[in-house]
Amino acid sequence: MQNHHKVLIIGGGTAGIMVAAQLIEQKNFTDVAIIEPADTHYYQPAWTLVGAGTYDYEKTARPMASVIPKQATWVKDKATGFDPENNTVHTANSGDLTYDFLVVAPGLTYDMSMVPGLGDALDKGVVCSNYTDPEHTWKVIQNFKGGTALFTQPATPIKCGGAPQKIMYLAESHWRKTGVTDKTDIVFATPGTVIFGVPEIKKTLMEVVDRKDINLRFFHKLVELDAENQIAWYELTKDPAGEGVSLTSGEDFKDLEGTFVHNFKNVKVTVKDGRFGIHYDMLHTAPPSVAPEFIRNSSLVNDAKWLEVDQYTMQHKRFSNIFGLGDVAGLPTAKTGAAIRKQVPVVVDNIITLMQHQQTGNKEYNGYSSCPLVTDYGKMVLAEFDYDNKFTPDPKLKQMLVFNSDKEHWRLWMLKKYMLPYLYWNKMMRGQDV
């Protein structure tokens, strides 16, 4: 195996494969290597649908060997560290690899220690996550017979910020069909201050929340899980005293309607040492997310320990021959496959232009991301936005006869369930621009 490559890519996820495929397919570029230890590549956007029993988990998986471009070199190994001054990546078993250009796209990982008790409880009993085991989520939703259904998320950035609420909307649909909603209080506890940061989407989602009779609780930072007693412990990220409310019991939260709370439900809450414990009969969450350890411990990160790249060019701020994209990148936008779809052409163009002309290209990434928000079986809203949280719908949607993607539409559901997986495997993974 040769140890030097013109372009070395860390990560065989969406970002890494797309960069390699576009370099080869569109630029006829040959010397590309991908460091990736996993045998399987997953289409994770469909895991929401798996968790709701409407997509087959097996269909989200393909052998890694089938998605890595044939012309690329697959280094089946783990990257363990960097020596960027000497254009070198350390690996677990393949020694040191050197490069002319490095693309860092290993995705993110989970740090359960940030919420004590979560790691031991996750994917067992009534605690589930579409991020780790969507098949277990579907079992939990089917087995739930009433009580408090708690949907929550950590205070870290996560993949697809809308995912923790999408599964809630689908769960409610299932429980309505099976007659469980009458015996159920659905609570969405989030560290955020609104249901969604894009005003047009927020308006639609608040209508969905009201239709489904969901209790929203804002400023709720998940800090611990007591699985034995089925209590999720929260700290509030804003002092309710500012609203003139002193919280001594769960019932006091109704006085915060309109700020901390929307559609108050008197679920059981234990108040102790400034923490608020919501008792649950089922819980869905996203795990706390961080950059992989070898990234966090490197000289390539920003203060928040994500990869430090220019938000427009995706070029590393200190090492001009290093680029980063995807979930690992420290960018002020949502971590989604849709964001990657727009980041990849910028990275590819910049690398090729740097090679040929010693300067970056003209393409810039504007922070575009999108979150397909499934609101019911057969309905979806498509939140597309940029760095300024400006709603930026794709003109191509009009070809699908979708003229208001900020409203629920069955055609958007068809896009999510059928068209996007097809485009992913057959176009995006093969280096075609879609």
Angle at 351 between CA 349 and CA 355, to 5 degrees: 115
160 noted as active-site residue: yes
The pair phi, psi for residue 118, each rounded to 5°, is -70, -45
Beta bridge partners of 279: 231
Point out the catalytic residue in the list 10, 160, 329, 340.
160
- pLDDT band at residue 1 using 50, 70 and 90 as cut-offs: low
**How does pLDDT run across 174-191, given as a tens digit for each residue?**
999 999 999 999 999 999
Amino acid occupying residue 138: W
The pair phi, psi for residue 287, each rounded to 5°, is -75, 150
For residues 9-19, average pLDDT: 98
Entry pTM: 0.97
pLDDT mean across residues, the chain: 97
Report CA-CA distances (Å) from 255 to 248, 261, 276: 12, 9, 15
**How does pLDDT run across 146-170, given as a tens digit for each residue?**
999 999 999 999 999 999 999 999 9
Do the beta carbons of residue 227 and residue 120 sit within 8 Å? yes
- Which 3 state secondary structure label does DSSP give 274? coil
- Please name the residues in contact with 318: beta carbons below 8 A apart, sequence gap of 6 or more: 84, 299, 300, 308
pLDDT of residue 155: 94
Give every strand in the sheet of 127-128, ordered side by side: 127-128, 282-284, 147-152, 184-189, 214-217, 261-262
What element of type H or E holds 375? strand 369-376
Amino acid occupying residue 232: A
Chain centroid to Cα 178, Å, comes to 30
Do the beta carbons of residue 361 and residue 349 sit within 8 Å? yes
The pair phi, psi for residue 347, each rounded to 5°, is -60, -45
Pairing of strands 147-152, 282-284: parallel
Rounded CA separation 200/409 (Å): 15
Do the beta carbons of residue 42 and residue 14 sit within 8 Å? no
Rounded CA separation 371/286 (Å): 16
The pair phi, psi for residue 74, each rounded to 5°, is -95, 115
128 noted as active-site residue: no
Among residues of the chain, what percentage have pLDDT more than 70? Answer: 100
For residues 291-299, average pLDDT: 98
pLDDT of residue 309: 98
> Could you give all domains of the chain from N- to C-terminal order, each with its CATH number?
4-108+291-365 (3.50.50.60), 112-284 (3.50.50.60)
Point out the catalytic residue in the list 18, 227, 231, 371.
371
- More reliable by pLDDT, 401 or 331: 331
**How does pLDDT run across 230-270, given as a tens digit for each residue?**
999 999 999 999 999 999 999 999 999 999 999 999 999 99
Amino acid occupying residue 349: D
Rounded CA separation 260/217 (Å): 6
**How does pLDDT run across 213-231, given as a tens digit for each residue?**
999 999 999 999 999 999 9
pLDDT of residue 33: 98
Angle at 421 between CA 136 and CA 172, to 5 degrees: 40
2, burial (CB in 10 Å: exposed 0-12, middle 13-18, buried 19+): exposed
**How does pLDDT run across 347-363, given as a tens digit for each residue?**
999 999 999 999 988 99
**How does pLDDT run across 399-426, given as a tens digit for each residue?**
888 899 999 999 999 999 999 999 999 9
For residues 115-131, average pLDDT: 98
